[in-house]
Amino acid sequence: MKVEMEDVDDSTLCDSVSSLVEGCRLPVHMKGTSDWPLAEIVSIKDLDGLKVYYVHYVDFNKRLDEWVTEQSLDTRKVHFPRKDAAPGTGVSTPKKVQIGSGISNSGQVSRPASPVSTNSELLNGNAVLAAALQKKINRKRKGPSLEGEDSQDGPPSQQSAATGGPRQSGSMVSHHDDIVTRMKNIEMIEIGPHRVRPWYFAPYPQEMVHLACIYICEFCLKYRKSRKCLERHLIKCNLRHPPGNEIYRKDNISFFEIDGRKNKVYAQNLCLLAKLFLDHKTLYYDTDPFLFYVMTVFDHRGFHIVGYFSKEKESTEDYNVACILTLPPYQRKGYGKLLIEFSYELSKFEGKTGSPEKPLSDLGLLSYRSYWAQTILEILLSAKPIGENEKAQITINEICELTSIKKEDVISTLQNLNLINYYKGQYIITLSKEIIQQHYKAMETRQIRIDSKALHWTPKDWGKRAKW
C-alpha cells in the first residue's frame, strides 16, 4: 500500500502508540477493507486494559467512524496537532494525501477538522437537551444556513425559535461545542423486527447510552431499556399507526400528517430516532413550528414506519422539506424517491414551487438529483411539437409549474445533465439517445409512484393562524 504525502512538515516517525494523542492523523486500516486511509484520532480510552482509539477517516462520511485497536494504526507517519493551531481546529490537513484507494463514496469532505481534545463525559443527551431547551427559552432568531447544496460538508445553521415570524432555517441544530456530537453513542437499536446499528450521535438520555441495545416501539417511537420493558409497553400502547391524520393511502402505503405542536412527544421521539441516521441536520425538542409526514407500510399488525420528512409550517425560503430520512431497513427500495415525490405533490396542491432545505445528507443529495433528473426528463419527453416539422418547445418556468421544482434546481439539473446548449441566440435542450435510454431504464425500476388521486389534503395558511 503506497502512502504519498506532500507538505507535511508536522509529521514525524512515531516509534510507539503511547505518544499518540487526540488530534493526531495517521493511516488506519478500515475494517472490512484492505485500505489504509488517513484518519484522525478523535478519542482514546482504556477498555479492560486495552487501549482503543475512536477514529474519523478524513474525507469519508462520519458514519464510517469507528473504534480500532493499535494493530490497525500505521505509526510510521504521524501528523501531530500543530501547537500554533487555533483552539478547536485540530491538525491542518496536508495539501495532498494519496493513500491507497481511499476515496469517499460521497466524494465529499464530511466535516471540518476536529478539536484537539475530547471529553467523553460530555457525550450524553443531557448536555444537548440543556442546550436545545435554552435556545427555546431564549427565542432568538439565528442566521440562515449558508450551505447551498445538500451535502453534509457544510456548517449547519443555528436552530431558531423566533415567535415573530417564520424561521430562516428551523430544522438544524448547531453545537458550538462540537465535542458533544462527534462520536456515536448508541451501539444498537431494535425497532419492530429490525436491529440496526446507528450511524451518528443522537441525544438520547444518559441512562440509555451505555446499553447494548435500545428497544423502540415502532408505533409510538418510545424507547425502552430492555425487550421485557418494551413488551410491557406494547401491552399498554394502543397505537397502531402514527398519531396524526392519514392523508394518503394507495395499496399498502400510507402517509400521516403529524403536527409538531399537537403531538410533541411523538415528534420528539421521531427526531431522536432520525438523528441516529442524520449527521448535521435534525431538530430535537422544539417541534412546534413543524409538520411531519410519516410514510408507513401496512400489514395485519398495523402501520409500520418506513421514513418521514419534516416541513416548516411557514418557510420564508419556500422550503418544502426540512429533514428527510428513509430508515436503513427500507433503503434502496424506492421509498426515498417516493418521499421526495410526495413532498412535491404537496407543493402542487399548495400551488407553489419548493426545494429541500440545505444541507441535506450525502444520500439525500443523490436521491434528489436522481429525482429531479427523472422528473424533468419525463416532462421533456412528453412535450409535443406545436406544428409538423417543428421541435417541441417548453420554458424553464413551465417545467417549474408542472413539477413544482424550484427554478434553481431545474437549471442546475439541466446543467448537470449537460442538456443545455446555446445556439443562434437561444438556449436549446438537446436529448441524446444515450440520455433517453438511461432514463427509460431508470424509470423501469420505479415500481411505486405517488397517485395524486389518493391524496386527501387541504393546505393550511399558517400565517393567518395564531402564533405558537
Active site residues: 357
* Torsion over CA: 106, 111, 114, 120 (sign): negative
420 SS3 class: strand
Contact 160, 145 (CB under 8 A): no
Contact 357, 319 (CB under 8 A): yes
Q: Where do we find the cell 441512562? A: 207
- AA identity, residue 284: Y
Q: How many CB atoms lie within 10 A of CB 417?
A: 19
* Torsion over CA: 106, 2, 37, 30 (sign): positive
Q: How many CB atoms lie within 10 A of CB 416?
A: 11
Strand 214-216 with 189-191, pairing: parallel
Q: Where do we find the cell 410519516? A: 294
Contact 40, 26 (CB under 8 A): no
Distances, alpha carbon 380 to alpha carbons 368, 432, 443, in Å: 18, 12, 14
173 Cβ neighbours under 8 A, 6+ residues apart:
128, 132, 135, 156, 158, 159, 282, 283, 284
Q: How far apart are CA 190 and CA 217, in angstroms?
A: 9
Strand 214-216 with 194-196, pairing: unpaired
Q: What are phi and psi of 28, to 5 degrees?
A: -135, 140
Contact 122, 139 (CB under 8 A): no
17 SS3 class: helix
Rg (CA), the chain: 24
Q: Where do we find the cell 433503503? A: 331
Cell of 349: 396542491
Residue 19 Rama label (left phi>0; alpha psi -120 to 50; beta):
alpha
Helix (H) or strand (E) holding 234: helix 227-236
Q: How far apart are CA 430 and CA 415, in angstroms?
A: 11
